[in-house]
Amino acid sequence: MVKGKQADVLGIPVKALDMKETTALGAALVAFTGMGIYKNIEEAFAAVESRYEISEPGENRERYKEVHGIFVERVFSSE
């Protein structure tokens, strides 16, 4: 759901790891690198099987674009 909203707001496809707890995964890989299990962070991330989910902008894209325009107009008109 969040990735779909990001795609709508940004107006571009959003590619993200298809898993929960990506923050914990990243922290663990950094820790393993620090412990010397991996030589560098690139090697650590390469060791993980990665599946990605791609969310395309949907039917709400035009509404978010309109709301963004209103937001920008109001923010910059108050200067």
DSSP secondary structure string, 31-79? HHHHTTSSSSHHHHHHTS---EEEE---TTHHHHHHHHHHHHHHHHHT-
Structure confidence by residue, pLDDT tens digits, 53-74: 999 999 889 998 899 889 889 9
The total of structural domains in the chain comes to 1
Structure confidence by residue, pLDDT tens digits, 21-62: 889 999 999 999 999 999 999 999 999 888 889 999 998 899
Domain that holds residue 38: 2-77
